[in-house]
Chain A
Amino acid sequence: MGAPGEFNLAALARYGNDFLAEVEERVEEGEWVKMCMQCGVCAGSCPFGPDWEHSPQKIFMMIRAGKRDEVLASDSMWMCTSCYNCVVRCPRKLPITQIMHGLAAYAHRLGLAPKMQPTRRWSLLFWDNCTKTGRVNELKLTLGLYFMDGIVAGFKQAWTLRNIGLGMLLAKRLNPFELIRGHECKDKAGIHRMLKKAAEIEARKRGFAKP
């Protein structure tokens, strides 16, 4: 978990540059936020448009307005499907998808992201899964997702979707033996060392506490 460090959160002035400066320093592609010209094309281009509370346009304006708590607690960033429609349409060429991911990651790092947000948990599960062996273990990933809310919920979910699982199995696209021994990289240890180093460098660069 990162510490807010030198940022004076108590004195956040509305429409001042404080929170924007924090975002610029700590969020991936955060330096682009100030370049938004508030046209709203992103909002109209998002496939999950009806489902979030704050469009990217609003998120950017909230950052400029210094609404730190609302932004970091928003579940809107977590609604990003990574379709990049907003990115290619943005007249100012903002990497909106990456900013949404960056904001979500930052909110998660600070522990301010909504705890039960399913995509937050799914995202963590995925990274954990793929970095464990260097490759995704699809069966464990799926089961991990089903059982995210506990044993009972997991079996219920698996039962609901049993036909899908069975179908995939029959189509030889789901390997039951993955539970025991799945795909993996040979140099797992090297990958782990490499990722540990990368996390250290990133924390150093962005001023986070050491991972």
Chain B
Amino acid sequence: MADPKYAAYVCKGCGIGERIDADQSAKIAEKEGKIALVRQHEFLCNAEGVALIRSDIEKEGVTHVAIAACSRRAKTEAFEFPGVALARANLREGVIWVRPDTAEARETTQEMADDYVRMACAELKKMKVPAGNPETGRSKRILVVGGGVSGLTAAVEARNTGYEVVLVEKQAQLGGWAAKLWKRIPEREPHAAPVDTGVQALIDAVTQDAGIRVYTNATLAQTSGAPGRFKASIAVESGSTATEEVGAIVQATGFSLYDMNRLPELGAGKSPNVMDQAGLESLARKAAPKGLPIRRPSDGGEVKRVVFVQCAGQRDDTGKHLPYCSGYCCNTSIKQAMYFKDANPAVDTVVIYTDLRVPGNGEDFYRSAQKKGVTFTKGSVTGVEASGDTCRVSFRDLILDEDASIEAADLVVLATGQVANAGVDIDNPQATDANGTKPISILNLDYRQGKDLPKLSHGFADSHFICFPYETRRTGIYAAGPVRRPMDIAQAKEDATGAVLKAIQAAENAELGRAAHPRSGDLSFPIVQLEGCTQCKRCTVECPFGAIDEDEKTYPVFNESRCRRCGTCMGACPVRVISFENYSVDSVGAQIKAVDIPDEFSEKPRILVLACENDAYPALDMAGMQRNHYSAFVRVIPVRCLGSVNTSWIIDALNGGYDGVMMMGCKHGDDYQCHFVKGSELANSRMSKISETLKTMALETERVATYEVAITDIKRLPVLIGDYAKVIEKIGLSPMKGFA
């Protein structure tokens, strides 16, 4: 590449020219920013303005462009110059729109603008044009793990989109749970009666498609590689092993029923007439196709009364059973009650529930059951006792507020719920699941961080359920169906469709050496200078996506295609040897240093705001769009994720005379909103340790503050900034000014 040539453009449109002195900004870019080519323009994003920049790139050989105009989130199409490094000084949303247009505000507003121009120039000097990941993907086939409804749907949808599939199923037959049902809950109008499962049609579509290679009786012996070049070793029961190269993986390994034998108080094991929902399906499949009524297992007697016990071992607050609702079981009991009512309305069917939850169009299904005479009773079951060939179901009637019982129930069906088949708990490989069994690994990943997908809660695979369902913490591997949360068939099909489309995107991006979601298309990737590495393992441990392995000397081995480009490794590295071409410890550090710090007698504090580019920065922009004013003393730097914030930036800022640092990232914890799952959480824990450092610097702990911010905090952010500015005013300006 030729020598870099820098250019800066100051836009005067959208009121910028009226509110700030563009000549001064241009002069700063030239003198302080040391930019050779500096131009001003009345309306930079119009065709003429863009043509001016293009012409400079072509004729003047400009390789690095700084644009002092609107936010980096605005006019991205106009200001897109492939192969050119680009920095943006946010004078519109970040300066004139958040400041009052008054004579007394003019000076501080101008200072704000000047600093943003300085920062853009400084950043630009540290930027390189990303070349893209040299290790591009080779395969765009999709590996589907699991041959139930979710897996079959994923396979069919992948084929419909034109991608080849390898499907691995542990059992001898495809179809999973759905193949064991007599009928399923309707997913279309009129939601009035159970319908055919449709699973045979799905199985046929899969087995008859030459583009789908099916392995039954098979498991994954090992999965290695990265998106675009995963290598799956498939162990078949017969003893043979096959190796398949695939571009991305959908894990649709489903669920096991919660073991009803853990519920002896509900009659489980006391009588063959007490069963779980699968048990009832099996009875129905034996009788109904022959047009026979379902009979009592104990003696083949006539069934006159059936009791369905909802939330059996679910929504339990004693810690003994599942704490959660499995979501599908109310509809399933309604469906099963209809098995009886549709065949013979004289059979009494009672559903005992505490809260009937019928997602989707289940409300219509519920009404239909009521019309058919299914009795719904709000109550909590206290015991099921078998005597002879019937059972007595005791419960508290929660409407009539009294103890009640149903005598002579011929069948009792326990709605026991779903336990995820999500493999081993990588944080605690010896742990057992809710059924008390010790899971075996499903994916057998050869990753440094463990063999299976990380879990979030209750043993379900972690997926970004608030913002990006299916996104797990293993790039290119997507969870679909009840393995990521409890759900019914209709939801599982939708889930599988969504997940497989994400898998296809991942494979396509990998082929081009680009990042997957959420920085989809990003060509930068982490570069490590191993000569400085101290083998501390922080990057390999903290990477939220398991992208970094270790070699035998415990040096990090980066798998670029597994990386999401969040920069958490860069934030973690104590020796600052990890960087991206266009985002590095230096590129941000230079911006921090570029700000002009007034002396301690100026009464003009400087507050550094490190704002997550996914939520906090757009929220600040929107605050500007709504003209919600905030302090002129803040200088905002967008970061890829709070996880990428290197502690050195904070220390440098405080040493350089900043009076305070506000860090704005996404919500963390179990209901996290962090795009990179763990980034904001890690930043928070790193910053909790910074107070010691502050004390050694003889600084107040208030000088560094961390905030959880959502993209909707448009009104809240200016308030937070105002409050923090007051805190700084109270503790006084930093004593560190002038020493840098």
Contacts and interface: CB of A to CB of B under 8 A. Distances in A.
Interface of A: 13-17, 20, 34-35, 37-38, 57-58, 61-62, 64-65, 92
A15 B404 contact: yes
Contacts of B378: 38, 61
B268 to A, nearest CB: 21
Interface string B354-369: 0010000000001100
Given A17-B348, A35-B367, A35-B370, A58 B375 contact: no
A57 B406 CA distance: 20
A65 B348 contact: no
Contacts of B405: 14
Given A15-B375, A15-B404, A35-B367, 8 more contacts: A14-B405, A15-B377, A17-B375, A37-B356, A37-B366, A61-B378, A61-B400, A65-B397
Interface in B332-388: 348, 350, 356, 366-367, 370-371, 373, 375-378
B407 interface: yes
B399 interface: yes
A35 B377 contact: no
A14 B305 CA distance: 11
Contacts of A14: 404-407
A64 B378 CA distance: 11
A15 B405 CA distance: 9
Give the interface size bracket for B toward A. Answer: 20 to 34
A92 B356 CA distance: 15
Contacts of A15: 348, 350, 375, 377, 404, 406
Contact of A13 (B305, B356, B366, B370): B305
B377 A65 contact: yes
Q: Which of A15, A61, A64 is most buried by chain B, counting CB atoms within 10 A of its CB? A: A15
Contacts of B404: 14-15, 65
Contact of A38 (B367, B373, B399): B399
Contacts of A57: 399
B611 to A, nearest CB: 45
A65 B350 CA distance: 10
28 contacts: A13-B348, A13-B407, A13-B408, A14-B404, A14-B405, A15-B348, A15-B350, A15-B375, A15-B406, A16-B348, A34-B375, A35-B367, A35-B370, A35-B371, A37-B366, A37-B370, A38-B399, A57-B399, A58-B400, A61-B377, A61-B397, A61-B399, A61-B400, A62-B400, A64-B375, A65-B400, A65-B404, A92-B367
Interface string B501-514: 00000000000000
Nearest to B369: A34
Contacts of A34: 370-371, 373, 375
Given A14-B406, A15-B404, A65-B404, A20 B399 contact: no
Contacts of A35: 367, 370-371
Interface in B64-88: none
Nearest to A16: B348
Nearest to A63: B375
A65 B395 CA distance: 12
Contacts of B400: 58, 61-62, 65
Contacts of B399: 38, 57-58, 61
